[in-house]
Every structure is written in structure tokens, then in C-alpha cells.
Chain A
Amino acid sequence: MEKRFMKGCEAIAEAAVRGGGRFFAGYPITPQNEIPEYLSWRLPEVGGAFVQGESEVASINMVYGAAATGKRALTSSSGPGISLKAEGISYLASAQLPAVIVNISRGGPGLGSIQPAQSDYLQATKALGHGGFRAMVFAPATLQEAVDLTYNAWDYAERYRNPVMILMDGCLGAIMEEVELPEMKEPTFENTEEWCLARVGGRTDSHMITPILPEPALELLNKGKAMQYKMWEMLDTKVEEFMLEDAEHVVVAYGIAARVAKEAILRLREEGYKVGMVRPITLYPFPKASLDNLDYSLVKGVIDIEMTIPAQMREDIELQVKGRCPVHEYGRSGGMLLDDEGVYDAIAEIVKGGE
């Protein structure tokens, strides 16, 4: 294991290379430019290919082409760029091609702001494109977690032959932290013969990859996907449960918001207030059980903290709380950052509300 002090975007880029990533196409947009910049020199070093696409639309379709050859392919973008990739992501899901899409999110809607925000939760978890498909969404809160999730992202994408998203806001993309970098993983081409264009990985016959199917076959594909989503929920949900045992108030937050919320929770614990946190690491599948199984004879309130207004995770939370306690929300938006005091005050007001 190699330790390095790295910037978020560069750590993700290096983790992608070590995880077997060998093709990148992308279009410049702040705050993720360090990813293509890094990969433009790093990928050729390991025999991979880098293309600066003419748009996000072109880039996601280059990734679609590369994925069809069995190479581990990725793209990255933010805000408006992710919207432009929507059609291509839907095609990946339809043609059952694996790929990794990194979203370093910024303030929205519209051109919005280049400052960090958690503004794309709904897009990422409900509809990354048309047609009613889902993709796994990983939301790291530290750079080490970002490295580990990116490193393993293709294992999920290939297992389920579906695109996977790493969703991380511009704060995490820009900060520097020490990370432990895993060893280079050589893609094995295992099982790729099932879905690649032919004569890759030892296959000798030809193959059709199609984003269009006769109606009965398309329904079958969708039924298969529906089963797969249930499987993800059972096998692949990732969550951090923090100080929940005796919690009377439970914060729900992911990514940068969870880091800020954790500081506030520790402060309130010192003051004797019983606050805990559910931190989804997979936003999809959403860690339903962590919220459903709370002891609601103890829990007086759930607080959704997000760097977006209005809160976007709220409906997913309410579906699990099922009216058993009030759900509150606090956030900042448009590129205005969550800060320690604001988050502490928002939680404290609810927690100490009865006093």
C-alpha cells in the first residue's frame, strides 16, 4: 500500500487507473477538471486511452463504445454535463454495458454555480436517464472512501452489467487528504465474452450489442433489472451507522454533509444529548433498513442534512420513518457551503427544542 497526500479529484483518477480503468472520455467542466487533466497523462502510461470529447454527449458515447470492447471505461462531469450524458447512460443500461460515471456535483439548477453542492441526489438515484432504469450510486465522505469505492466500482458494474455512479460534491473533489492507494488491479476479462464485441477475451464468434429490442425481449430485460435492483438492496447496500444505540435524534446525511454533521453530533454528545447518524454510502440502493429498524420508542426526530435546498433525500427517509416521528431538514444551497456552526445550530435547535 502506498500513501500519498492527494487532492480529491486526483485521488479518484488514480484509484480509477489502479482499479483497471483504461479508457476515459470527458469534457471540461468545473469542479472536476483535475480528473481529465490527471488521466490525460496517466492513462497513456499504463497503455490506456484518453480522449477529450467534443461534448459530454460525445464523451459518454465514446465510453459506451469502449465498454463494448471489454475495457474498463469511465467519464466524469458535473451539473449540466451530467444532464447531457443522460441519454448515453440510458443506452449503457439498455445495452447492459458496464461503465463508471463520476459526478463532482455543483450548485444547480441551470448553469447554476461552480461552487460545491449536493444538488443531484434525485437525478442520480431516481432517473439518470429516460426509461426507468437504476444505477448504483456511491457517495464517499472521505478521500480514502472515494479511492476505495472508485477502485472497486467496475467490479459492481461488470457483475451487474450496468453503469455505476460515484457522486461526490465539489468540496470533496477539491480538498487534500492522505490516502492509501491500493495495488494495480489488472482487468482479467473474466466473463467479458458474455457481453463484449467478439474476439475479446478469447471469444471467437461475433456478437450484437443493442440498445433496442423487440418488445417481449425488452420487457424481459426490464424484469431482469427489477430483480437485480432487489438483489443490490440485499447484497450491496453500504451504510455507516454512528452512535445509534441510544439515539433520541437521528441525523441522516451523506458525503460532505455527513462530515460536518458528525462534528455537530460529537459536540452535542459532549453536552449530553443523545444524537446519532445514519450515513448512506450507497444512495442507491438506499439503506432502508437502517432507518426502518430504528427504535422509535426512543427516537423523537430524524434530521435530514443536505447541501441542497429543498432536501432531496427526504422522501426516501420518510418512506422508512413511516410517520413514526417527525422528519426535519436543514441545508444550504446554490454553492453556499454547510458550515460547522450552521449545522450545529440547526440540529441543536431541534434536539434542545423541548427545553
Chain B
Amino acid sequence: MAEYKRPSSLMPMATGYCPGCMHALATRLVADVIDELQQADNAINVVSVGCSALNLYSWKGDVIGSAHGRAPAVATGIKRCLPDRLVFTYQGDGDLAAIGLAEIMSAANRGENFTVIFANNQTYGMTGGQMAPTTLIGQKTTTTRFGRDAQTTGYPLKMCELISVLEAPVFVARYALNSVKGVQDAKKGIKKAFEMQMAGKGFTFIELLTNCPTNWGMNPLDTLEYMNTNTIPYFKPGIYKDKEAEA
């Protein structure tokens, strides 16, 4: 039977995330894969601004905080100088798909050889639940009190779809963390992305559909079903691009 233990990249402390928050699960998945690949001493975690910034304090390995939206630029600087290190960014949806849109698209388009872990919880968690570029139509947030209206705010941004039309990225996939199967698939996807990076293949992008029980105003269990009926039908999980499989 497999042993269940704390990944070596995590500090022996509570994460700081709200109870039931999937940021904790996502962080753990990344740390588990790093252990499996024996990369704990070689990985560099480029943390973004958002609830993910809490990673700064619970991550035991090399970690660097970056400005809101700029993690892909920071990772570019790091990876160009230390090409042998396993470099990844961990970014929220406000960070990546709003303020950091130029940085993520440009890093993806340059084919930078690092991995992006994108935690899409359809809200600005850290600042108290405002509308994110990924907020679903009709979803209530503190800046869309009557639900997101496409007339004035447009539609939720589909990052996997956008990035997969670029030429350079080698692996682009979306997973939902609200089921055991989703979690297992996500772990496989993260592992594949890291392996491709270590083989020098190029830019890899993993979107994880996550929750924000606090700002969704829901108990954590209810978020699982909410994701099945609302999030997943719009943000369809799947592999959007896999250059290895194409080859």
C-alpha cells in the first residue's frame, strides 16, 4: 500500500488557505509530482500575487515572489539564466488572465521552457471575491452583484483554448479538481508537463479548475457539485495540445 506523507517541498505547517480551498490540493499535487521526479532540490517555484502567494511561506524549496501577473516574465529571466532547473509559475486567474495576459501569451508564444500551473477559481480570491476574467455568466461577485452580465463584461476567458492555438507550446491541458478522477488526471498532466520541460521540449500549460468556498459563499462540499453543473460545462477539461502525441 502506498504511504501517504507530506511532500518534501512543503513546510511542516498549515498552508494558510481557507478550509476546503483547492489551492491546497493543487499545491500538494505539484509538490507530490516534484517528489516523484526527485526534483525537490532542483525546482524553483515562481509564486504570483493572489491567494497563491501563501505558497511563499509553506514552500520549502526555492521560491520567489513576483509582481501581480508577471510570474511568466520572472520565470523567463530565471530559466534563461538557469536552464537546468525545473522552473514553474503558480498563478491565479486574475493574475494570469487579466493583469498578466501580455506576459502569459508572450512567454507561451516564445516557447519558454518552463511550466505554468494556472489555478482558475473564477474569482479574485485574495481581494475579496471581485469579478475575474474567468467569472461565469450570471455568477455573483462583489463587483457583479446581480450576476456577471455579458453585455457589459464580455465572456469568461478560456486560456487553454487561447494558448493552444499558438505554435510554440508543447502541452496544454485543463483538469477539474472536484473529483478523484480529476485529481488523478491532473497529477498525470503535471507530471507530463514537468517531464517535457526537463527534456527541454518547451512551454507547458496546466489549467486547474479550483474553487473558492469563501468568496463563492458556499460550503466546500457544495462547491464540488456547483463545479459539475456550472464550471465544467463551460471550461471543458481535456488535453488541448500535445506535441508529443502529434509527433
CB pair A65–B62 under 8 Å, yes or no, is: no
CB pair B70–A23 under 8 Å, yes or no, is: no
Q: A64-B66, A210-B65 are in contact. Are A53 and B81 (CB under 8 A)?
A: no
Residues of B within 8 A of A68 (CB): 64, 74, 77-78
* B87 CB, min distance to chain A CBs, angstroms: 9
CB pair A197–B64 under 8 Å, yes or no, is: yes
CB pair A62–B64 under 8 Å, yes or no, is: no
Per-position 1/0 for B94-117, Cβ under 8 A of A: 000000001101100010000000
* B111 CB, min distance to chain A CBs, angstroms: 12
CB pair A212–B65 under 8 Å, yes or no, is: yes
In B11-54, the 8 Å CB interface with A consists of 41-42, 44, 46, 53
Q: Is A95 part of the binding interface, using a Cβ–Cβ cutoff of 8 Å?
A: yes
Nearest B residue to A52 by beta-carbon distance? B110
Q: Is A200 part of the binding interface, using a Cβ–Cβ cutoff of 8 Å?
A: yes
Q: Please tell me which one of the listed residues A66, A91, A207 contacts residue B77 in the complex, with CB atoms under 8 A apart.
A: A66
Q: Please tell me which one of the listed residues A49, A61, A206, A212 contacts residue B70 in the complex, with CB atoms under 8 A apart.
A: A61
The number of A-B residue pairs with CB atoms under 8 Å apart is 119
Q: How far is the CA of A96 from the CA of B75 in the complex (A)?
A: 18
CB pair A197–B82 under 8 Å, yes or no, is: yes
Q: Is B122 part of the binding interface, using a Cβ–Cβ cutoff of 8 Å?
A: no
CB pair A61–B103 under 8 Å, yes or no, is: yes
Nearest A residue to B74 by beta-carbon distance? A65
Residues of A within 8 A of B81 (CB): 22-23, 49, 65-66, 69-71, 73
Q: How far is the CA of A87 from the CA of B82 in the complex (A)?
A: 24
Q: How far is the CA of A25 from the CA of B81 in the complex (A)?
A: 12
Q: How far is the CA of A51 from the CA of B73 in the complex (A)?
A: 10
Residues of B within 8 A of A71 (CB): 81
Per-position 1/0 for A36-80, Cβ under 8 A of B: 000000000000010101110111011111111111010000000
Q: A197-B44, A212-B56 are in contact. Are A23 and B65 (CB under 8 A)?
A: no
Per-position 1/0 for A279-290, Cβ under 8 A of B: 000000000000
Nearest B residue to A210 by beta-carbon distance? B65
Residues of A within 8 A of B76 (CB): 25, 51, 58, 62, 65
Q: Is A112 part of the binding interface, using a Cβ–Cβ cutoff of 8 Å?
A: no
* B92 CB, min distance to chain A CBs, angstroms: 15
Q: Is B150 part of the binding interface, using a Cβ–Cβ cutoff of 8 Å?
A: no
* A239 CB, min distance to chain B CBs, angstroms: 35
Q: Is A109 part of the binding interface, using a Cβ–Cβ cutoff of 8 Å?
A: no
Residues of B within 8 A of A88 (CB): 67, 70
Q: Is A208 part of the binding interface, using a Cβ–Cβ cutoff of 8 Å?
A: yes
Q: Please tell me which one of the listed residues A61, A73, A197 contacts residue B62 in the complex, with CB atoms under 8 A apart.
A: A197
Given A70-B81, A208-B56, A210-B56, 19 new contacts (CB under 8 A): A23-B80, A25-B77, A51-B110, A53-B73, A57-B103, A58-B73, A58-B106, A59-B73, A62-B76, A64-B67, A65-B46, A65-B75, A73-B81, A88-B67, A88-B70, A208-B62, A209-B64, A210-B64, A212-B53
Can you pick out 11 interface pairs between chain A and chain B where the beta carbons lie within 8 Å of each other? A23-B81, A58-B76, A65-B74, A67-B77, A88-B70, A95-B64, A197-B62, A197-B78, A212-B53, A212-B56, A212-B65
B interface residues with partner A (beta carbon < 8 Å): 41-42, 44, 46, 53, 56, 59-67, 70, 73-82, 102-103, 105-106, 110
